[in-house]
Amino acid sequence: MIDKSKIVWRDVHLAFAEKQVLRGINLNVLEGESLVVIGGSGSGKSVLIKSVLGITKPDSGEVIVDSQNIVGCSSHEREAINSKIGMLFQGGALFDSISVWENVAFGLMQTGSARGTTARSRAIEVLGRVGLDKTVADLSPSELSGGMQKRVALARAIIDEPEIIFFDEPTTGLDPIMSDVINQLIISCVRDLGATAVTITHDMRSARTIADKVAMLYQGQIIWHERVSHLDNPGNDYVDQFVHGRGEGPIQMTIRQ
């Protein structure tokens, strides 16, 4: 099974100053699989995917992409790895000093694979794929609603047809209808590209819609990793409490008196 793995975290530890965020993460994502990682706020879910992108560096352990350990790799190797990855950030992270189409085509123009009018028409084509017409192409990101910004960010993540796509809380802050639209777009983009996807979310509806498998991160460790069909009967009290959103259970929220 290991030879089919696209991404593997092996005994990954990571701390920020005194705070231990990841405490020996062991997780693998198979090629073409859609994995959803759930867990409480501040449990280290974003850090997990940022360790693949090289934005955070593990203190120990291995992060393996396509059978290559990428911890401590050179800047050229990092560039090659990141060129395989698309990322949808939680807030969109669109560059507000440039237009919508320049945001979408940014990666293409930086790598030199398209420029000028070619890049613009490619950007408009991908905007169409996420349900936005060409009238938004010349607008500034600040002129768009939250849902439209998420779509633009999704277009930017998929324009280079990446092998791996990370979605960091793609439906946070959106209304239920727009959330469903984004979920469907994620499913179709991942299916069309045949990409491996890792999604971080608190939204159980979203998790059920887009996941093949679900993993739960708790106190810096993966405590559960199963197919999405097991989500309603997980056989794990922590997952059960989280999925059903109960205040009572083994997960205790720290509330200052």
Partner 1 sequence: MKLFSGIGSVVLTFLAATGRVAAFAGSGLSHCLRPPFYGKQILRQLIEVGFYCLPVVALTTLFSGMVLALQSYTGFARFSAESAVANVVVLSMTRELAPVLAGLMVAGRIGASMAAEIGTMRVTEQIDALSTLSTHPMKYLVVPRIIAGLTMLPILVLIGDIIGVMGGYLVGVYRLGFNAVGYIEQTWNFIETLDVVSGLVKAAVFGFIVTLMGCYHGYMSRGGAQGVGIATTNAVVSSAILILVANYVITESFFSK
Which residues make up the interface to partner 1 (CB under 8 A)? 50, 53-55, 75, 79, 82-83, 85-87, 89-91, 93-97, 106-107, 110-111, 156
Angstrom distance (rounded) from CA 245 to CA 225:
19
Cβ neighbours of residue 85 closer than 8 Å, sequence gap 6 or more? 52, 53, 162, 163, 164, 165, 166
Closest CB to partner 1 among residues 81, 214 = 81
Tell the smallest beta-carbon distance from residue 107 to partner 1 (Å).
4
CB of residue 232 to partner 1, shortest distance in Å:
33
Give me the least distance between CB of 111 and partner 1, in Å please. Answer: 5
DSSP letter string, 186-222 = HHHHHHHHT-EEEEE-S-HHHHHHH-SEEEEEETTEE
Q: Are 48 and 22 in contact (CB under 8 A)?
A: yes
Query: Helix 116-129 crosses helix 146-158 at what angle (to 10 degrees)?
Result: 120
Residue 87 CB, nearest distance to partner 1 (Å)? 5
Residues 6+ apart with CB under 8 A from 154: 88, 130, 170, 182, 185, 186, 189
Q: How far is the CB of 95 from partner 1 (least distance, A)?
A: 6
- Our CB check for partner 1 shows the closer of 82 and 201 to be 82
Q: How far is the CB of 199 from partner 1 (least distance, A)?
A: 16
The amino acid present at 47, given as its one-letter code, is V
The residue among 93 and 139 lying less far from partner 1, judged by its C-beta, is: 93
Q: Please identify, using beta-carbon distances, which residue of 165 and 231 lies nearer to partner 1.
A: 165
Q: Which residue has the tokens 């791996």?
A: 164
Contacts of 137 (CB under 8 A, 6+ apart): 99, 100, 101, 120, 123, 124, 127
Q: Which of 193, 216 has the CB closer to partner 1?
A: 193
Residue 155, token pair as written in the block: 């277009």
Q: Which is nearer to partner 1, 58 or 242 (CB)?
A: 58
